[in-house]
Structure 1
Amino acid sequence: MDNMLQLIAVIQKELLLLVRDRAGLLVLFVMPAVLVVVITLVQENALKAIGESQTRILLIDGDGQTLGRQIADALKDTHGVLVIEALDGRTPDRQQALGLVARGAYPLCLIIPSGLTGAVQNRARQSALESLSAEGAGGAMAPPPVIEVYFDPTVLGGFRSAVRHLLDLMTLRLEVNEKMAALARILPERINRSITAALEPVAGLNVPPPQMDLQLKWSDLPLLRVEDGGALGEMRAVLPTSVQQNVPAWCLFGIFFIVLPMAGAFIQERINGTHQRLLAMPVAYLTLASGRILAYMGICLVQCTLIGCIGKWVLPLWGTPPLEMGGTPLALLVMIASAILAATGYGTLLGTVVDSYEQASMFGPISIVIAAAIGGIMVPVYAMPEFMQTISVISPLAWGLNGALDVFVRGGNLVDVLPEAGALSAFFAACICIAWLWQSRRRWRGNFGWPA
């Protein structure tokens, strides 16, 4: 009972110290919240810029005939594409459309030239005639009509390539259809001519050549199909959203910044002599350390809840998808607890080893930023150079992020996150053991009158 009361008293002391540390509260709550909002909104906008969200295409149909409408309808049926053909109820002219794209109002503009249908049909007929005649159709073929595409100068190259690929496939389909239609019109005439020539020796029998109807009506059913999906099957055949990526990542980043107020509390106690007085009291060192760890674990839980609420309800107000968890709540709880333990363990170690605020404020944030950088918090690990991918496995933030993504994106359960949770727990145990050994060494040296 006494040990429990002592533990509660230590927790209360730590919470009171933290409440008075306004800078520490800003680091723990305001900084990660702002990072989550800013980074997620920036990444969401970047995803829109590379085509992961709905893309608005400004379309000027100068043809107005069959092929022009087929192109417009094909674009409208494409997932993730919003076709804009009128502004304020009027069709924009070429100059107005290019001005809007140049100013960034639209990522691209598609201009279909006048007379497209007639020009394509004439070229298809000439191409069909050449294919049936060894001498060719006779006469030079007119230059092909050009569908013009104009991009916003700031649009990324990957998005440009995707749009060009879409348009190439669409025009290829239209070209094949027109060539087949031309063949359907020319072949009966050629066949009838050949049959008439073959029947000339018996022309006196007055046998009329058969009339042929080659209306080539092809089925819309594909002969070959390509499908994309998730590596985990149909249940998770979706890409992670910017919220699912950033909320766990920057929440971990904020959790590990608990080392600053923790280290500051250790240093302050040593400076003002509180630490020596606590050790002189009938309170075990384990109780003092456990109370401090439990107090800061509670702070981290509040921090995680705050950031989770931001991802669930605040970020959607700015147009992002809400935070959704694909795995089990138990797995998430285990990952959060393991990450908090690792952060508080590192804070205990840092507060025990360093001797001044300057050392803590320099080494603590730098080490966390480095661990976050190589752990995939700022840039995904797969986008790093190979040697950086190799060393990323030493970062505790990488373990935490992998476990969080297992829950939020890969639909993982408790078994799936046990390796990462175990690694974080082992990191916590190692930090506590080193801190205890360091503290024991310091006390032993002090008992012998050596400088601490």
Structure 2
Amino acid sequence: MLSLLAVIQKELLLLLRDRAGLLVLFVMPAVLVVVITLVQENALKTMGAVDTGILLINQDTGALGRQMVEALEAAEGVRVTRQVKGRAPSRVEALALVADGVYQLCLIIPSGMTERVRARARSSAQASLSEKKGTEPEATEPMPCIEVHFDPTVMGGFRSAVGHLLDLMVLRLEVAEKIKALGELLPEAIHRSLAETLAPMGEPVPALPALDLQLRWSEMPLLQVEDGDARAVQLSPLPTSAQQNVPAWTLFGIFFIVLPMSGAFIQERINGTRLRLLTMPVGYGALVGGRIIAYAGVCSLQCLLIGGIGKWLLPLWGAPGLTMGGSAVALLVITACAILAATGYGILLGTVIDTYQQAAMIGPISVVIAAALGGIMVPVYAMPPLMQKISVVSPLGWGLNGILDVFVRRAGLAAVLPEAGALAAFFCACILMAWRWERRQG
């Protein structure tokens, strides 16, 4: 027991002297979590995860202009601004604000839109009821045009989403006005047709009142799409940027423990400490166990530090805080197995690698490759089919799936046992290979 404690103390002292290694273990993953989470949160805002600000100028004094304003204000995910500094901006001022990037887009409803739309709707209804088939409606009024001006830096996907929203609103207004015009003109057309038919018989034709056709029938849905969860439990609508990035980059930082671990092995081998330890009454199990416990403690501190950043620091910068949806026991088990897998890999590399240069290349590069294959940098579902098949061999992928099961899918202990078992098996395989290599080298 004393020998085990001595090994733990030795490893911690060596690590404390390795300032570059401490920076890699603590500062690098913390910075990655903060930067990537904030960047992704901004990307989510751009894609519509938060309200879109629209600078609106309504120059129309009629009912249709008011209806469009009300529809925009009631639309989900839209924040309408009609006044700047306490007054309605002019067209020139609004375009300048959008060009300067203050607003993402400006919507201008033209003056006289209501009168022109209704005149064109009446012409369209008259053409539909005309006795001359194929008669085109007469353009009694020029077509009104709703202007949409975007900030030049706005991406195409955002422009398409806004255009789709406006197209639906315009379509609804068009249908309503055409139905209204048809309700006014249809009785006249029916009366005229009856008069032509009954007049030779000497039958009087009563006048028909205008029809008050409403749009309520068109608002009744005939088909619907319902969102549902893929599991029986209730899930969050979307994982937040913190839930996506904090666990992933914490796992990435944990596996970088291989760099100081392998460096400590090589240093002991070069300065003869390794040989002196083997001549003492200290077994291989105590040497390896002491290293595992020491570096597992360091990895635990990593998790606490980065988890604290995700929970308390990120909300101060406008990003959502880290929240856990599943079992704390499941999170503890999968995290412990991931830490064991990382320390086991570090012991294997430190045993088989001979120089610092090899450790500095093989260790970080192998971790980055495993992270890329495991879905930390790019989601696995977005990879080509071949890469998706290869990704199943990544220990970081196993750990990430298990952690996301807890944070996003609200899973319990049973759900993370396959990933935890795979990580534990990886740890045992690394220790076994390191032991066999050690025995082969004498």
TM-score by structure 1 length? Answer: 0.92
Deviation at 1:169, TM superposition (A): 1.2
Question: What is the 5 A alignment of 1:295-310?
Answer: 295-310=294-309
User: Structure 1 residue 286 and structure 2 residue 317: aligned?
Assistant: no
Shift of residue 199 of structure 1?
5.0
- Cα distance in 1 for residues equivalent to 2:257 and 2:327: 27
The superposition leaves residues 79-127 of structure 1 with CA deviations (integer Å, 9 ceiling, x where unpaired) of 2111111110122222222222222222222121121111111111111
The answer to which of 227-236 and 256-265 deviates more is 227-236
**Are 1:377 and 2:376 an aligned pair?**
yes
Checking the alignment, whether the CA contact within 8 Å between 1:260 and 1:360 is kept in structure 2 is: yes
Q: Does 1:21 align with 2:21?
A: no
- Residue identity in the other structure for 2:94: A
Pick from 77, 82, 97: which aligns with 1:80? Answer: 77
Pairing partner for 1:126 from 123, 130, 153: 123
1:91 corresponds, among 69, 88, 93, to 88
1:248 is aligned with what amino acid?
A: P
Q: Is the 8 A contact 2:55 2:82 kept in 1?
A: yes
Residue of structure 2 in register with 1:262 after alignment: 261
Check conservation: 2:179, 2:214, Cα contact below 8 A.
no
Corresponding residue SS for 2:148: strand
Superposition map of 1:201-216 within 5 A: 209=206, 211-216=208-213
| Cα distance change on mapping 1:384 and 1:168 into 2, 3 Å | same
Aligned to 2:396: 397
Residues 112 and 147, structure 1, Cα contact 8 Å, conserved in 2: yes
Partners of 1:57 and 1:230 lie apart in 2 by 32
Deviates more, 1:406-415 or 1:379-388: 379-388
Match of 1:448 in 2: none
Q: Give the AA of the match of 1:330.
A: V
Instruction: State the Cα distance separating 1:237 from its structure 2 match.
Output: 5.2
- Shift of the alpha carbon at 1:57? 1.1
Matched, 1:53 2:50: yes
Q: Does 1:312 align with 2:326?
A: no
Q: How many residues align?
A: 438
Q: Is the 8 A contact 2:341 2:424 kept in 1?
A: yes
1:17-38 CA distance string (max 9 Å, x none): 2122211111111111111000
Superposed CA deviations along residues 40-71 of structure 1, whole A, max 9, x for unmatched, are 00111111112222211111112132111222
Identity, % of aligned positions:
66
How far is the alpha carbon of 1:8 from its aligned partner?
Answer: 2.0
Output the amino acid matched with 1:167. Answer: L
Deviation of the 1:269 alpha carbon: 1.2
- 1:228 matched to 2:227? The reply is yes
Map of 1:419 onto structure 2: 418
Partner amino acid for 1:166?
L
Give the 5 Å matches for 1:176-191. Answer: 176-191=175-190
State the shift of 1:230 in Å: 3.5
CA 1:329–1:163 in 2, change beyond 3 Å: closer, same or farther? same
SS in 2 for 1:57: strand
| 1:253 and 1:372 in contact (8 A); partners too | yes
- Residue 167 in structure 1 maps to residue 169 in structure 2: no
Helix, strand or coil: the match of 1:58? Answer: strand
Whole-Å Cα distance in 1 between the matches of residues 258 and 221 of structure 2?
59
CA distance in 2, matches of 1:93, 1:227: 42
Please tell me whether the aligned partners of residues 50 and 156 of structure 1 are also in contact (alpha carbons under 8 angstroms). no
Q: Which runs of no fewer than 5 residues in structure 2 stay unpaired?
A: none
CA contact (8 A) 2:73 2:80 kept: yes
Q: In the TM superposition, what is the alpha-carbon distance from 1:208 to its structure 2 partner?
A: 7.0
Alignment of 1:436-447 (within 5 A): 436-443=435-442
What SS does the corresponding residue of 1:236 show, helix, strand or coil?
coil
Residue equivalent to 2:427: 428
Q: How big is the shift at 1:192?
A: 3.5
Say whether the 8 Å CA contact 2:188–2:208 is kept in structure 1.
no
Per the alignment, do residues 145 and 234 of structure 1 end up closer, same or farther by CA in structure 2, a change over 3 Å counting? farther
Question: Where does structure 1 lack aligned partners over 5 or more consecutive residues?
Answer: 444-452
Secondary structure at the aligned position of 1:56 is classed as strand
Select 2:101's aligned residue among 100, 104, 107.
104
Are the counterparts in 1 of residues 236 and 408 from structure 2 also a CA contact under 8 Å?
no
Counterpart code for 2:413: L
Is 1:359 matched with 2:339? no
| TM-score, scaled relative to structure 2 | 0.94
Shift of 1:196: 4.5
Query: Could you tell me how far 1:253 is from its partner in structure 2?
Result: 0.6
Q: Determine the C-alpha separation between the residues in 2 that align with 1:380 and 1:241.
A: 15
Structure 1: distance between partners of 2:179 and 2:333: 62
Q: Does residue 66 of structure 2 align to residue 69 of structure 1? A: yes
Residue 160 of structure 1, CA deviation: 1.6
- Separation in 1 of the partners of 2:245 and 2:156? 24
Alpha-carbon distance in structure 2 between the residues aligned to 1:38 and 1:138: 58
- Over 3 Å counting, the alpha-carbon distance change for 1:357 and 1:251 in structure 2 is same
Shift of 1:334: 1.3
Query: What secondary structure is seen at the aligned counterpart in 1 of 2:234?
Result: helix
8 Å contact kept, 1:6–1:283: yes
- Work out whether residues 74 and 170 of structure 1, in 8 Å CA contact, stay in contact via their aligned partners in 2: yes
Note closer, same or farther for the CA distance 1:129–1:213 as it changes in structure 2 (3 Å cut): closer
Q: Distance in 1 between matches of 2:409 and 2:34?
A: 23
Paired residue type of 2:227: D
Following superposition, the deviation at residue 190 of structure 1 comes to 2.6
The structural deviation recorded for 1:222 is 2.8
In the TM superposition, residue 235 of structure 1 has moved relative to its aligned partner by 1.1
- Per-residue deviation at 1:390? 2.4
| 2:123/2:138 contact within 8 Å kept | no
Give the distance between the partners of 1:344 and 1:257, measured in 2 at CA. Answer: 9
- Matched letter for residue 49 of structure 2: E
CA contact (8 A) 2:373 2:390 kept: yes
Q: CA RMSD in A?
A: 1.9
Find out whether 1:38 has 2:63 as its counterpart. no
Q: What is the CA distance between 1:436 and its match in structure 2?
A: 0.8
